[in-house]
Amino acid sequence: MISKRIRDNKELFITLFNNSSDFVAYDFETLSNLKIMVCYIEGLIDRDILDRDILESITVNVKKPKDIKKFIMTSSIKEVYSVDEIVNEIVYGRVAIFVEGLKKVYIVGLSKWDKRQVDQPQAESVIKGPKEGFIEDIAVNKVLLRRKLRNNNLVYEDMRLGKQTKTMVSIAYIKGIVNEAVLRELKNRLNKINIDSILESGYIEELIEDRPITIFSTITITEKPDVAAAKLLEGRVAIFTDGTPHVLIVPRIFVEGFMSSEDYYLRPYYASFLRVLRVIAFIITIYLPGAYVALQLYHQEMIPTVLLVSAAASREGVPLPITLETILLIIALELTKESGVRLPKNIGSTVTIFGALVLGQAAVQASLVSAPTIILVSITALAEFIIPQLSEGIVVYRLLVTILGGFFGIYGVVCAFLVITTQVVSLESFGIPFAWTWAPLNKTALKDGPIRIHKRNFIHRPLAIARKNVKRQQPPRGEGS
Amino acid sequence: MKAKITLLCIYMLSISLLTACFDATELDELAIALLIGIDLEDDKILITAEVINLQYSSDSSSSGNVSVKYVQGTGNTVLEALRDITLKFGHRIYGAHTKAIIFGEDLAKKGVMPYMDQLFRARELRESAYVLVAKEAKAYEVMGVSSGLEPIPANYIISLIDSIRYNPKTIDTNMMDFVKHYYHMGRHPIVAILEKRQKKGINQTEKEVGTKDFELSSIGSAVFKNDTLVGYLSGNDTKALNYILNNVKGGIITFPTPVDSDETLFSSLSTIKVRTKNDVDFKDGRLILKTKITISGNLGEIGGDMDISNYESLEKMAQACSQTVKEGIEMTVKKVQREFGFDIFGFGHVLHKKHTEEWRKIEGKWDDLFAEADFQIEVVTNIISSGLLNKPLTVKEK
């Protein structure tokens, strides 16, 4: 309980913050000898404004405790009565103003801290389309999304998650379009979270996903406000987490892995070509090494003679069996990828060149690996890079296919295909079938699947997700779908 | 639950120990055979295989200098001969990429079917491999000759057979066709031949001797009675045979230009599409073989002053062409009737398919009937285009 006396309160809060050096509890008297105390955390607030516009005005003008609200000239003020709440506000960069003789505290929003500039996202860069990306600050992120959807139906609902971190988490949806069932389920799952820390949206992702044992994520992650806006317009819900630029969006369907925001900004024909290319890349990147190993070991009759001869000739003198060779190269590829990401940028390029030279040139010349295997694994890598959204699942499955292909031939590759397909088809994301538009098949949604048709024919939102207000546009007169 | 997972792990691990059962072979251990030659020597089967030699210098990564090796083995069966190779060569012959089977003439004259058994029984060999006969030679004598652009002799041989697209004076019978024709009622197989010839003049200045002095020719074909080689057809006869068999994939027809001139001048038509329909009929107890051929083609060359810009002369050209084809085919059919006396054109097969009842009655004496039969042929030529010229260059325009 807050005491009426400033001295008690000061003691209480200094104890609550364990004498932390960045906690400021400053008490003073106004000109009319009224005792006042302000509490805040150093560095989280704009002290210029506090000193100049609030403290000065209070010091000069306030005579009676009840008058104080008249002289705090800000629109962001609220009265709070509980200690817990005050602590929560202070750690979020607000100023608590205590007045002698009052059992309530005025909380003034003056938060200001250093944040990164709104920048181009690293993972989802586009050529055509908006370049701005979310940053680590949730308030800025909410603004970025609001600027895409200037609409009174865009709703944010805030909550604090993590007993220690007390991270601000905010769900965003468009009222009237959002799938209510998904929204309800999401709130339910978020409320069940009882963890001590949320440091990144990945924590939430794992805690709310449908099934823990899946390699493909059933939750979309994006850094781009335009992507988030587009998904909300399809009836989805976004989850903003303070401290990370990665915004979660549920539910996710598998086809989304092949989509890029740019698809909708380019001509539909080229966009469709790109989508088909990504589907092909997905197949290549998962199955090519396995099929290669299987054909080389068990089904040599299926390789065209000329290719067989050159492949066999390049295998001459290579010490490792083909399966091991391919797996080692795949691991080498992952090493190169990982070191490129982890190292500082200026060293990163050195590593890439070194890896490329050592692996590509020297290893072949020393007959440690065969040239076709290197070419093939490189193609696999290229194919993986054009579908970054699925790459987490791809790496694991690629190894699975390669090992099965190496041990059982095409039979093993087919088994792996069955495993992967079964997994994808059996998944659900917040009650929506993960393989939706293909299984179960939905013809209207196929318009925005591996091909993207002309926007004139985009009449409906994806019907599995959006349940009401499903029409996006009135079909142009004389045309319909 | 834990026990189940442990069991599953044990099962999966033990599977990895069983790889040998799954017939995995590393590529560099394969002896990829491209040609298999089968001969009879001293009443034993002699197998010669052309195997790709992967051992070339590692610094040149181009496949331009791929070389081949020849390995031989003998035995009483084909399989024994193939396995005889392994103890001298150190590898099992891998037959899935075999492009052609070559039979020596001696063996072909004794019948090839006994030696085909293994080739069909083993799962490796492709039925699309060509069947060839080494004319007046052993199979191993025609192997190793490469006079084409291909560095590998097998590819050279295949390109000779595949050139039926440009010149139908050879025939492209593969193993499947051979066996099919062998089993067909009223039909006997024909296969392509390889004839080794000394080149004329070209290499005399070169110091290299040996296989480079020779070339192979696939002009003509070998006639089998059931599975026994009985004789050869010339190039022109093979061409006529291909016309009747509806197996013309391209090529030209050369015919005398229909102009009034002292000397005989020739023109050529390059065929685009040739369609043949065969039929069999009985009239007054005599067998009549009927063939209708429709040829479409472009004029490739005109000899003599033939102005084809008008319809009549074009029609004359077409008729001359038809006449030539007709005469050629009639000659060939007569020759086959006289010399061989059995059906290689598949008329019996047509009859069998069309009038099975009647076929049953005459099945046994079909070859005799064929030898005595009348032959009627109708040829229609459509000249589609005349190339870039209307009139021959010899015609001066006024």
DSSP line for A131-183: -----S-HHHHHHHHHHH---TTEEEEEEEE-TTT-EEEEEEEETTTS-HHHH
A433: tokens are 């079938």
The percent of residues in chain B predicted with pLDDT above 70, rounded, is: 90
For B55, half-sphere exposure in the C-beta direction (CA atoms, 13 angstrom radius) is 4
**Type of residue numbered B256:** P
pLDDT value of position B14: 67
What topology does CATH give the domain B247-398?
A: GMP Synthetase; Chain A, domain 3 (3.30.300)
**Quick one: pLDDT at residue B15?**
61
Angle CA B21–B24–B29, to nearest 5: 130
Mutate to test the interface with B, among A297, A361, A370 (most CBs of B within 10 A): A297
Question: Residue A152 corresponds to which tokens in the numbers above?
Answer: 């009174």
| C-alpha triplet B256, B258, B263: angle, nearest 5° | 60
Put simply, the answer to whether A298 touches B63 (Cβ < 8 Å) is no
Element (H, E) at B351: helix B347-354
Q: What is the mean pLDDT of residues B310-325?
A: 91
Chain A, 370-389: which have a CB under 8 Å from a chain B CB? 371
Torsion over CA: A193, A195, A200, A202 (sign)? negative
Handedness of CA A58, A59, A62, A65 (dihedral sign): positive
Contacts of A64 (CB under 8 A, 6+ apart): A34
* Chain A residues touching residue B26 (CB < 8 angstroms): 296-297, 315, 321-322
- Check: pTM over 0.95? Answer yes or no: no
Of B22, B24, B97, the CB nearest to A301: B97
Q: Which of B22, B66, B124 sits opposite A309 (nearest CB)?
A: B66
What residue has token string 């200098």?
A: B65
Q: Give chain A's mean pLDDT.
A: 87
Instruction: List b or e across B341-378, with b for residues whose CB sees 16 or more CB atoms inside 10 angstroms.
Output: ebbbbbbbbbbbeeeeeebeebeeebeebbbebebebe
Longest alpha-carbon distance in chain B: 102
Q: Which residues pair with A107 in a beta bridge?
A: A78, A96
pLDDT given for residue B230 in this prediction: 93
What does the pLDDT read at residue B60? 47
- For A45, which DSSP code? B
Asked whether the bond before A251 is cis by omega within 30 degrees of 0, the reply is yes
CB atoms within 10 A of CB A339: 16
- Which of B9-13, B213-217, B300-304 has the lowest average pLDDT? B9-13
* Rg of the Cα atoms in chain A: 29
Among the partner residues B22, B27, B94, nearest to A296 by beta-carbon distance: B27
Residues B329-356: what's their mean pLDDT? 90
Alpha-carbon separation of residue B239 from A183, A187, A272, B271, B341 (angstroms):
78, 82, 51, 13, 19
Q: What is the pLDDT of residue B325?
A: 94
Query: What type of residue is B333?
Result: V
Note the pLDDT tens digit of each residue in B109-139: 999 998 888 888 887 888 899 999 999 999 9
Contact criterion met (CB below 8 Å) for B135 and B195: yes
Owner of token pair 């196929």: A446
- Give the C-alpha separation, A100 to A5, whole Å: 5
pLDDT at residue number A4: 86
Sign of CA dihedral A233, A237, A241, A244: negative
Lowest mean pLDDT among A86-95, A178-187, B56-65, B314-323: B56-65
Q: Are B152 and B53 in contact (CB under 8 A)?
A: no
The closest of A256, A237, A255, A257 to A247, measured between CA atoms, is A237
For residues B248 and B296, the answer to whether their CB atoms sit within 8 Å is no
Query: Does the pLDDT value for residue B398 go beyond 80?
Result: no
- Phi, psi values for residue A239, rounded to 5°: -120, 110
What residue in B sits closest to A324 (Cα-Cα)? B26
Q: How far is CA B135 from CA A409, B217, B234, B357, in A?
A: 43, 10, 12, 40
Expressed in angstroms, the distance from the first to the final Cα of chain A is 65
Mean pLDDT for the stretch of residues B345-358: 87
Mean pLDDT, rounded, of chain B: 85
For chain B, the straight-line distance linking the first and the last C-alpha, in angstroms and rounded, comes to 102
- Across A208-217, A355-364, B258-267, least confident range: A355-364
B350 in Cβ contact with B279 (< 8 Å):
yes
User: Which residues in chain A have Cβ-Cβ distances shorter than 8 Å to B30?
Assistant: 300, 312
Mean pLDDT of B83-96: 89
282-341 of A, contacting B, C-beta below 8 A: 296-298, 300-301, 305-306, 308-318, 321-322
**pLDDT value of residue A187:** 94
pLDDT at A203 over 80: yes
A467 backbone dihedrals φ, ψ, rounded to 5° = -105, -25
Compute CA distances A450 → A109, A234, A464, B311, whole Å.
48, 17, 17, 56
What is the per-residue pLDDT for B20? 42
Q: Given this model, what pLDDT does residue A477 score?
A: 65
Q: Domain extents for chain B? A: 24-233, 247-398
> Between chains, do B16 and A317 touch, taking CB under 8 Å as contact?
no
Cα A35 to the center of its chain, rounded Å: 48
Helices A268-297 & A371-385 angle (0-180, nearest 10): 150
* Each residue's pLDDT tens digit, B52-73: 887 654 444 444 456 888 999 9
Minimum-distance CB partner of A316 among B22, B54, B126: B54
**Is the model more confident about B148 or about A475?**
B148
Among candidates A119, A3, A96, A14, which has minimal Cα distance to A50? A96
The band of A443, judged by pLDDT with boundaries at 50, 70 and 90, is confident
What residue has token string 């290579």?
Answer: A318
The Cβ of residue B329 has, within 10 Å, a number of other Cβ atoms equal to 24
Domain layout of chain A by residue ranges: 6-109, 138-252, 265-432
Chain B residue with the nearest C-alpha to that of A322: B26
ipTM of the complex: 0.75
Q: Do A297 and B26 touch (CB under 8 A)?
A: yes
Find tokens 């050369």 and name the residue: B254
pLDDT of B153 over the 90 cut: no
Tell me which chain B residue has its CA closest to the CA of residue A296.
Answer: B27
Residues in chain B: 398
Provide the pLDDT confidence category of residue B21 given band limits of 50, 70 and 90.
Answer: very low
Residue A480 has pLDDT above 80, yes or no: no
Tell me how close the Cα of A369 comes to any Cα of chain B, in angstroms. Answer: 13
Strand-pair category, B130-134 with B190-198: parallel
Largest Cα span, chain A: 100
CB B53 within 8 A of CB B69: yes
Distance between CA B368 and CA B375 in Å, rounded? 14
Could you tell me if B288 and B374 are in contact, meaning their C-beta atoms sit under 8 angstroms apart?
yes
Q: What is the pLDDT of residue B17?
A: 61
Cβ pairs bridging A and B (under 8 Å): 70
A300 and B16 within 8 Å at the Cβ level: the answer is: no
How long a stretch of residues is chain A? 481
Rounded to the nearest 5 degrees, what angle is found at the Cα of A149, between the Cα atoms of A147 and A155? 105
Residue B223 pLDDT greater than 60, yes or no: yes
Predicted confidence (pLDDT) per residue in A290-343, tens digit: 999 999 888 888 888 888 888 888 887 888 889 999 999 999 888 888 887 788
Distance (Å) of CA A393 to CA A286, A336, B71? 9, 18, 49
pLDDT of residue A408: 86
Other beta carbons within 10 angstroms of residue A105's beta carbon come to 23
Asked if A296's CB is within 8 angstroms of B26's CB, the reply is yes
Given a contact cutoff of 8 angstroms between Cβ atoms, the answer to whether B368 and B186 are in contact is no
Q: Which of A145-159, A348-362, B5-19 has the highest mean pLDDT?
A: A145-159
- Contact residues of B toward A, CB < 8 A: 15-16, 19, 22-28, 30, 32, 34, 52, 54-56, 58-59, 61, 63, 66, 94, 96-97, 99, 124, 126
Closest CB to B66: pick one of A296, A313, A367. Answer: A313
Q: Is the pLDDT of residue A114 over 90?
A: no
CA A73 to chain centre: 38
Taking the C-alpha atoms of residue A38 and residue A59, their distance in angstroms, rounded to an integer, is: 12
Q: What is the pLDDT of residue B59?
A: 46
Distance from CA of B35 to the nearest CA of A (A): 13
Question: What does the angle CA B254 – CA B260 – CA B264 come to, to the nearest 5 degrees?
Answer: 40
What average pLDDT does the segment A34-50 reach?
90
Identify the pLDDT of residue B201.
62
Backbone angles phi, psi at B294, to 5 degrees: -115, 125
Three-state DSSP class for A478? coil
Cα A248 to Cα A239: distance, rounded to the nearest angstrom? 5
Q: How far apart are CA B389 and CA A383, in angstroms?
A: 52
Nearest to B97 among A297, A305, A318 (CB): A305
- Rounded Cα gap, residues A309 and A303, in angstroms: 9
DSSP string covering B2-17, please? Answer: HHHHHHHHHHHHHHHH
Rounded to an integer, what distance in angstroms lies between the CA atom of residue A27 and that of residue A14?
Answer: 12
pLDDT of B16 over the 70 cut: no
The amino acid that residue B338 corresponds to is R
C-alpha dist (Å) from residue A206 to A150, A213, B97: 31, 10, 52
> Is the Cβ–Cβ distance between B268 and B252 less than 8 Å?
yes
Neighboring chain B residues of A307 at a CB cutoff of 8 Å: none
Q: Could you tell me the pLDDT band of residue A398, with boundaries at 50, 70 and 90?
A: very high
Burial class (CB in 10 A: 0-12, 13-18, 19+), A392: exposed
CA angle B191, B193, B197 (to 5 degrees): 175
Q: Which of A305, A438, A463 is nearest to A471 (CA)?
A: A463
